[in-house]
Chains A and B, each alone.
Chain A
Amino acid sequence: MKEMILSVNPHIHDNSSTRSVMREVIIALIPAIIAALYFFRIKAFVVISSCVISCVVFEYLYQKTCKKNITVKDLSAVVTGILLALIMPPALPVWVCILASAVAIILTKQIFGGIGCNIFNPALLGRAFLMAAFPTMLTSWNNPITLDVVTTATPLGLHKFTQVLTGYEPLFFGNVSGSIGETSALALLIGAAYLLIKKIINIRIPFAYIATVFIISSITNKIDPEIYAPALFNLLAGGLMLGAFFMATDYVTTPITKKGQWVFGIGCGIVTMIIRLWGGLPEGVMYSILFMNGFTPLINRVTMPKRYGTGDRE
Chain B
Amino acid sequence: MILKEFTKGIWKENPVLVQVLGMCPTLAVSTKVVFGVSMGLATTFVLLSSSIIISILRKIIPNQVRIAVFTVIIATFVTVADYFLKAQFPDISKSLGPYIPLIVVNCIILGRQEAFASKQPVFKSILDAIGMGLGFTLSLVVLAGVREILAFGTFFNMTIMPEGYTKWVIMALPAGAFMTLGLIISLFNWINMKGKESKS
Contact, chains A and B (beta carbon distance below 8 A): yes
Q: Which A residues fall within an 8 A CB radius of B?
A: 107, 129, 132-135, 137
Q: Which B residues fall within an 8 A CB radius of A?
A: 166, 168-171, 173, 175-176, 179
- Say whether A137 contacts B173, CB under 8 Å: no
Contacts of A132 in B (CB 8 A): 169-170, 173, 175-176
Closest B residue to A96 using CB positions? B166
Do most interface residues of chain A lie in helix, strand or loop, or is the interface mixed? helix
17 contacting pairs across A/B (C-beta < 8 A): A107-B179, A129-B170, A132-B169, A132-B170, A132-B173, A132-B175, A132-B176, A133-B168, A133-B169, A133-B170, A133-B171, A133-B176, A134-B166, A134-B168, A134-B169, A135-B169, A137-B166
Given A132-B176, A133-B170, 15 extra CB contacts under 8 A: A107-B179, A129-B170, A132-B169, A132-B170, A132-B173, A132-B175, A133-B168, A133-B169, A133-B171, A133-B176, A134-B166, A134-B168, A134-B169, A135-B169, A137-B166
Closest B residue to A130 using CB positions? B170
Contacts of A107 in B (CB 8 A): 179
Contacts of B175 in A (CB 8 A): 132
How many whole Å from B146's CB to the nearest CB in chain A? Answer: 14
Contacts of B166 in A (CB 8 A): 134, 137
Contacts of B168 in A (CB 8 A): 133-134
Contacts of A129 in B (CB 8 A): 170
The CA of A132 and the CA of B168, in the complex, are separated in Å by 8
The CA of A121 and the CA of B175, in the complex, are separated in Å by 17
The CA of A135 and the CA of B169, in the complex, are separated in Å by 8
The CA of A194 and the CA of B166, in the complex, are separated in Å by 41
How many whole Å from A266's CB to the nearest CB in chain B? Answer: 28
The CA of A133 and the CA of B171, in the complex, are separated in Å by 7
The CA of A134 and the CA of B168, in the complex, are separated in Å by 6
Contacts of A133 in B (CB 8 A): 168-171, 176
Contacts of B169 in A (CB 8 A): 132-135
The CA of A208 and the CA of B176, in the complex, are separated in Å by 34
How many whole Å from B197's CB to the nearest CB in chain A? Answer: 12
The CA of A134 and the CA of B170, in the complex, are separated in Å by 8
The 7 closest A-B pairs by CB, nearest first: A133-B170, A132-B170, A133-B168, A133-B169, A132-B175, A135-B169, A132-B173
Contacts of B173 in A (CB 8 A): 132
Contacts of B176 in A (CB 8 A): 132-133
